[in-house]
Amino acid sequence: MIETRLLFQFIAVAEELHFNRAAQRLNMAQPPLSQAIRRLEQEIGVSLFSRTNRSVSLTPAGVSFLESAREVLRTLDEGVEKTRRVSQGIEGHLTLTFISIAGYVPLLRALRNFRAAYPAVTFTMQEATTQEQIEALEQGRADLGFMRPSGRSAPDLRFDSLLLEPVVIALPATHRLAHCRIIQLSALQDEHFVSAPRHLGHGFHDQMMQLCEAAGFRPHISQQARQLQTLVALVASCFGVALLPASLAQEAREDVIFRPLEVDAPAELQHTELLMGWNARSDSLIRDKLIEEIRRAMQL
């Protein structure tokens, strides 16, 4: 392994083509510099300089090595500077996982502001279910996740509650109750429901079941889908009705209507949370800066 000190000394001699001037430039004596260059040539196994009593010149191998030495030191400088920027939280890479966040304007604004403030930070964005996000955070495959409550213990993870939103009912536009401004959940006990499978998000799934039970029935689930947007599409195709977060109602559609619910159930069952989660065992200054930006945007 060639020491970087030898590279600096070689470059000085190669640029000065004079050992005494190179030694003065390096603030060292000439004999140790000559010995260092000979040691470098021995390590490489080739002559880098042609020496006479009157002149010093680079050999063809020396010309090639000069280019390589400069590139090595330039790469090293860039690496050191990048390391400093990463340690300062102004450069690096973040992997974010999320459920559908299109309807959360303050969160999207926070992400946009962060990217503008830290353009050297790169992102990998991965849409995933709550359960998949929990696993990715626990295994270190994600830095920050946006999800629903998982319904299971995750001791290494920390969560911020970003917001609470009502649970609404999604109906096909042709549904018999489409004209109603508020839907009695008990009026849907004979309907087919569409929902996400429980193993992909215990918390939200169980909450929907409890809401229906509070209305006096167990829902008949006819179809399942991984993503909530797919559930909306199933509702539009008349496969059933769906209990969903109100944020999904922000996108105007002609084939699906969203209505508030009336049900005798605790308030916590009638609302769902959007959580921001991260692994407390991993340190990341960049991630922590993004968390603070999101907290400010969400007024936490």
Full-model pTM: 0.69
CATH fold of 4-87: Arc Repressor Mutant, subunit A (1.10.10)
CATH topology of domain 92-161+274-297: D-Maltodextrin-Binding Protein; domain 2 (3.40.190)
pLDDT digits (tens, 9 = 90+) for 241-264: 999 999 988 877 899 999 999 999
- pLDDT bucket at 190, cuts 50 / 70 / 90: very high
Q: Bridge-partner residues for 115, per DSSP?
A: none
pLDDT (mean) for 163-172: 95
CATH number at 162-272: 3.40.190.10
Task: Please determine, for residue 66, whether its predicted confidence score (pLDDT) is greater than 70.
Answer: yes
- At 109 the pLDDT is 92
Copy the structure tokens of residue 272.
């769902």
- 82 vs 173, residue with greater confidence: 173
- DSSP state for residue 160 in the 8-state scheme: E
Three-class secondary structure of residue 232 per DSSP: helix
Are the beta carbons of 97 and 272 closer than 8 angstroms?
A: no
Residue range(s) in the chain whose domain bears CATH number 1.10.10.10: 4-87
Confidence at residue 182, expressed as pLDDT on a 0 to 100 scale: 96
| Burial (CB count within 10 angstroms: exposed 0-12, middle 13-18, buried 19+), residue 18 | middle
What is the pLDDT of the chain when averaged over all its residues?
Answer: 90
**Residue 88 predicted with pLDDT over 70:** no
Segments in 183-274 forming alpha helices (H) = 202-214, 228-236
Tokens describing residue 250: 């922000």
Intervals of CATH 3.40.190.10 along the chain: 92-161+274-297, 162-272
Run of H or E residues at 147: strand 144-147
Residue-level pLDDT at 135 = 93
Cα–Cα distance, 62 to 49 (Å, whole number): 6
